Structure 1
Amino acid sequence: MSTRPRFSIIVPVYNRPTEVDDLVESLLAQTDRDFELVICEDGSTDPCKAIIDNAVEFRGLNAKYFYKENEGRSIARNYAMERAEGDYFIFFDSDCVIPPDYFATLKRELDSNPLDCFGGPDSAHESFSTTQKAINYAMTSFLTTGGIRGGKVSMEKFTPRTFNMGFSRKVYETVGGFREMFSEDIDMSTRIRQAGFTIGLIRPAYVYHKRRVDFKKFFRQVHVFGMSRITLHLLYPGSMKAVHTLPALAVVIGVALVLLGIFVSPWWLLPLGIYLLAIFISALVLTRSLVIALKAVPASVIQITGYGTGFIKAYVSKILLGRGRDINEEIMMRKGK
């Protein structure tokens, strides 16, 4: 007789069999296996079904695999949740690798301090490339993001993200599933908080997150993040905090300093030089790698300028000019990959 698992791991997948293979290997290595894995393949042309079938048949993984037409990652997550059996839903991205004590840690933390919704930080595994580690620094450093993704020091109340997020079945039954939009995890966390549920950071329950493998893809990703912050502001007036505007402000100040440095005096470039030096030193201390520290500088510039320009673009278009669809229509129409 099967026992209902405490945790259901929900993972939407789109053409990522190699990543899923790494994720599955890390789940098979868990010291506590009180979970099921629910994979929803979102119309992939390069599916991962063989990997899941092999892990289930020959290695004892408790997993379910579903394939559906491509509609977006949020719809895929909702499809998986409808078919999950656990008391809690745990969300990972397909490019995550899970430390072996993750679920033992999560169980211990929830038993001692129950939460309706929770999340944990992400880090870079030693096997990741130097570029991936530099991007991880840019996304997690206080100097670049204000520590809002689970850092020890943060400028904003912690908001769980779907690379490492969980909530109870009761939350799902009350709030419903994810909306198909960019930054859908922030939207979900906001709805959960507004419904009166408890939300917290479980710092020891971290994951290794591969993120983007090159700077061009990284820029596109953070540019969309910046644009989606305006969507969230329109959905939830008053939700925008000072930390969300800082990258846009940094872009404006940075451009002004560069222009002044070119046309007035090179001394105007000094503040930029000091800031970039601080990033380099911070990354060097944290990673103990000269190569990663050197790459962390352009990665941080990309993180700030990508987010900042996306924010400015959406602010001008949607707020100043009032262009685009009605916000609720936009949420229903937008597709994610």
Structure 2
Amino acid sequence: MFFSVIIPLYNRPQEIKELLETLTLQTYKQFEVLVIEDGSKLDASDIVNSFKDQLDLHYYVKENAGQGFARNFAFERAKGDYFVIFDSDCLIPANYFEIVNNSLTINWLDAYGGPDAAHESFTPTQKAISYAMTSPFTTGGIRGNKKAIGGQFHPRSFNMGISRAAWQKAGGFKITRLGEDIEYSIRIHSLGFKIGLIPEAKVYHKRRTNLLQFYKQIHFFGRARVNISLFFPETLKAVHFFPAAFTVSILFLIVFNIFHLQIAFIGNIIALFIVLLIFFHAWWKNKSLKIALLSVIAAFIQLTAYGLGFMQDFWKRIVLKKQISA
């Protein structure tokens, strides 16, 4: 099988260098790489072109329109039997395409997703953020489980594959951000295509380098969940309200403590239990006290940022029915 690797790029020249380096090490070589420079001010042309002797590489520059439409631009120019989408902040294990090719040969999927993990080279903060995004106590581990808590598994665009046949029938991304990958996954599934997880096809996803950037990203994800529900209302499940409920509970707990209400004692015990649960699980997973402490902070940021973003756009777009730009 011949794969077309599609990478939207926006002002991240160093990231694309690290990603392309990992692609040169692949044990399965039947793939091309399409890098779409989406109106970047920090040009990566010199870095990308330095890999042309090592990869079947195609570099395009276009006006900024967001990652979804940058991928559509690549779909129309790709030659592969299967399109594979990566975020530019990913590192790809050397056996990734060998795993995917073997898996699709044995168990065909029209679209697939893979999990993400923290690489040993990541900073403690990046490892803590990775924990917060994959922990069963925050996201429920839905990004790397075949059975999602909210229903059908939906591949995410940091590690996502689509067959040419699925693309030809479903078309490309309809929205360029605010949950464009989940909307696309739901649409492909609704057309009768088979979607699933390839558990071994992991990538190392850097995400954000500090907690403030992480907060902004997850706040955006909370807003995106509401945006997806405007296309597919039936996909909005009770589980999607959990971060908002958690955030409201934290706010109430702060008020209870300020006014020394008796109920605050019970709330504090529950909060302490949650903190210790996350701390010891993160310590066990990462074998690092520092990462465990940072993981507690990252987990609370993950839940509250998503909750606040979700509540913000739920109120504006569902209750008040306002049109909000991304």
How far apart are residue 51 of structure 1 and its match? Answer: 1.9
* 1:86 equivalent in alignment to 2:80: yes
Percent of aligned pairs with the same amino acid: 46
Task: Letter of the 2:286 partner, please give it.
Answer: T
What TM-score, normalized to structure 1? 0.92
Any residues of structure 2 matched to 1:170-319 within 5 Å, and which? 170-179=165-174, 180-263=176-259, 264-265=261-262, 266-267=264-265, 268-319=267-318
**Equivalent residue number for residue 321 of structure 1:** 320
How far apart are residue 323 of structure 1 and its match? Answer: 2.0
> Is contact 1:258-1:269 (8 Å) kept?
no
**Equivalent residue number for residue 108 of structure 1:** 102
Q: Which of 39, 42, 51 is 1:43 aligned to?
A: 39
Secondary structure of the structure 2 residue equivalent to 1:56: coil
Structure 2: how far apart are the matches of 1:14 and 1:75?
A: 13
Task: Letter of the 1:190 partner, please give it.
Answer: I
How far apart are residue 239 of structure 1 and its match? Answer: 0.7
> Is contact 1:121-1:206 (8 Å) kept?
yes
How far apart are residue 170 of structure 1 and its match? Answer: 0.6
Structure 2: how far apart are the matches of 1:89 and 1:37?
A: 10
Structure 1: how far apart are the matches of 2:232 and 2:52?
A: 43
Structure 1: how far apart are the matches of 2:248 and 2:289?
A: 30
Q: 1:243-278 CA distances to partner (integer Å, 9 max, x unpaired)?
A: 211100111122222222332145131111110111
Task: Letter of the 1:170 partner, please give it.
Answer: A
Structure 2: how far apart are the matches of 1:91 and 1:321?
A: 35
Q: Which of 137, 141, 144 is 1:143 aligned to?
A: 137
How far apart are residue 30 of structure 1 and its match? Answer: 0.6
Structure 1: how far apart are the matches of 2:323 and 2:172?
A: 25
Deviates more, 1:6-15 or 1:249-258: 249-258
Structure 2: how far apart are the matches of 1:181 and 1:287?
A: 32
Secondary structure of the structure 1 residue equivalent to 2:245: helix
Q: Which of 112, 115, 118 is 2:112 aligned to?
A: 118
Secondary structure of the structure 1 residue equivalent to 2:20: helix
Task: Letter of the 2:108 partner, please give it.
Answer: P
TM-align CA RMSD: 1.4
Deviates more, 1:111-120 or 1:224-233: 224-233
How far apart are residue 235 of structure 1 and its match? Answer: 1.3
Structure 1: how far apart are the matches of 2:162 and 2:245?
A: 34
Structure 2: how far apart are the matches of 1:317 and 1:199?
A: 32
> Is contact 1:10-1:39 (8 Å) kept?
yes
What TM-score, normalized to structure 2? 0.95
> Is contact 2:247-2:308 (8 Å) kept?
yes
Structure 2: how far apart are the matches of 1:269 and 1:26?
A: 46
Structure 1: how far apart are the matches of 2:253 and 2:231?
A: 34
Task: Letter of the 1:269 partner, please give it.
Answer: N
Task: Letter of the 1:249 partner, please give it.
Answer: A
Secondary structure of the structure 2 residue equivalent to 1:118: strand
